[in-house]
Amino acid sequence: MSAPASSPPLHRLLSAAADAVQAVRDGHSLTDWLARCPADVRPGAQALSFTVLRRLGAVQAVRARLAPKAPPPRVDALLVTGLALLWPGETAYTEHTLVDQAVEAARRRSPKSAGFVNAVLRRFLREREALLDAQRDDPIATWNHPRWWQEQLQKDWPDVWTELLAANQQRPPMTLRVNPAQGSTASYQQRLTEAGISAHPAGELWTQALVLDEPKPVQALPGFSEGDASVQDASAQLAAPLLLGQMQPQDLSPGEAWPLLAHGARVLDACSAPGGKTAHLQELAGNHLDLLALDTDAKRLERVQQNLERLHLQGQVKAADARNTAVWWDGRPFDAILLDAPCSASGIVRRHPDVRWLRRATDIPALAKIQAELLEALWPLLKPGGRLLYATCSVFKAEGQDQIDAFLQRHGDARWRQFARGAGHLLPLADNASQDPPRGGAAVTDGFFYALLQKLPSA
């Protein structure tokens, strides 16, 4: 029997994490960078880089005090990585080990910088308390978000903006969606327990959602490869029941019914990759929808197809820009449309800590323009009486309520259906009135926005 492969040395993980941080500073997605990272260091590099990016505002301020003249980018990235991991409460390594391995990483990256990295990190340990106190008046260092982001949250959510910034610093839970065709949520929870994995229901609003007490590799989940469960945040699990009619609007008129979508209903998922919501629609509909999944990125569409196949579901997958309907639409109107529109991802910063450093203030109006174009292009494709669910994983009102308010001004044949819970702006806060109080006082769900629009029949 061959011996198990040993874990990579810490200096390799630190070096890889520093490269990841530098990639984000250069404007590249952390997800894309990690996909190209050597497999043996990828999990460690991801964990360490997530920690650094959550602390980047503070550690850059401290580094500027310790070394006012910035070192070369690769050295600086390693330095801020070391500083972030030496932050109080952040590291699982001893301070001596961390400094020693950071110096070793520097020696291999840029031999002449090893002494400099050693000196700066050791000075930080000696003066840590004073250095932390000195940067408390710097808003970027305090909240670890760009100033424009803070100002936008303060404008949109003046009562809870600091809580939203603090929530983004939390490590997110791992939430599963149990496939109802393969068994009940309770029975899958029992299977997890038998496999030594603790989990609890997300709440009564989410009939298929189980939240793991500790994240696990998907390979450890019972029946994952056979399609028994998927990984999907609880907020994202609301899209399918909202569109299919499994959640009842609270604004129904006396005698008005809100039916489920019928078997064979023609449904469009306009921006479908990576396919979690696409698959969930078919799961809940018993695989009986006439489903078309679009996305502009043919490569990401492969994930949609893989998700459908793993879950034994059907659907047509096509690469196209949903706005360019002349290219892909066959002229048959849809009963329902899911528009999970491109957005700032400001509601999922816990899962993607690089987003805050990649976005610019000018991105928000640019994204809002794309969202409006998608709404305008898709609305004519909907049958009278049909429904369109607009969704973004954003907490910015420009991508949520403001977008839909403007759409309603332009379209007198649209009605925004209202729900007591599970729609509108869902903030990633434990006391959000639209969410169940989660266990332990931590936010269970990501930030999302949902608006279900019904197309009124012609007079």
Distances (CA, A) of 360 to 37, 146, 386: 26, 9, 36
- Tell me the sheet residues that pair with 425: 449
* Lookup: tokens for 53: 């990016």
Alpha helices in 114-263 (DSSP H): 114-134, 139-143, 147-156, 161-167, 185-194, 239-244
- DSSP code string of 225-270: TTTSEEE--TTGGGHHHHHHT-S--S-PPTT---PPPPTT-EEEET
Name the CATH architecture for the domain at 10-144: Orthogonal Bundle (1.10)
**Amino acid type, 404:** I
pLDDT attached to residue 173: 92
Domain boundaries, the chain: 10-144, 233-455
Q: Can you tell me the distance from the alpha carbon of 271 to that of 261, in angstroms, rounded to the nearest whole number? A: 20
- State yes or no: cis peptide before 139, omega within 30 of 0: no
Q: Is 37 a catalytic residue?
A: no
Smallest CA-to-CA distance from 187 within 201, 175, 174 is with 201
- Tell me the sheet residues that pair with 233: none
* Lookup: tokens for 72: 């070369």
Contacts of 267 (CB under 8 A, 6+ apart): 243, 261, 281, 289, 290, 291, 292, 334, 335, 336, 337, 338
Dihedral sign, Cα of residue 426, residue 387, residue 407, residue 271: positive
H/E stretch holding 18 = helix 10-25
CATH fold for the domain made of 233-455: Rossmann fold (3.40.50)
* Lookup: tokens for 8: 């990579």
Helix axes 73-85, 10-25, angle to 10 degrees: 120
pLDDT attached to residue 442: 41
- Tell me the sheet residues that pair with 454: 387, 415
37, 271, 343, 393: the active-site residue: 393
H/E stretch holding 290 = strand 290-295
Average pLDDT for runs of 10 along the chain of length 459 = 64 97 97 94 96 97 95 96 92 90 96 96 96 94 98 97 95 95 96 97 92 95 97 96 96 92 97 96 97 95 96 97 97 98 97 98 98 98 97 98 98 96 91 41 76 89
Contacts of 36 (CB under 8 A, 6+ apart): none
Q: Can you tell me the distance from the alpha carbon of 202 to that of 36, in angstroms, rounded to the nearest whole number? A: 33
Contacts of 223 (CB under 8 A, 6+ apart): 182, 191, 229
CB 429 within 8 A of CB 446: no
Contacts of 137 (CB under 8 A, 6+ apart): none
Smallest CA-to-CA distance from 357 within 49, 65, 137 is with 49
CA 344: distance to chain centroid?
A: 10
pLDDT attached to residue 5: 52
**Across the beta sheet with 174-178, what order do the strands follow?**
199-201, 209-212, 174-178, 229-231
Q: Which residue has the tokens 């019914």?
A: 257
Q: Are strands 290-295 and 316-319 parallel, antiparallel or unpaired?
A: parallel
Half-sphere exposure of 426 (CA within 13 A, CB side): 28
pLDDT attached to residue 441: 36
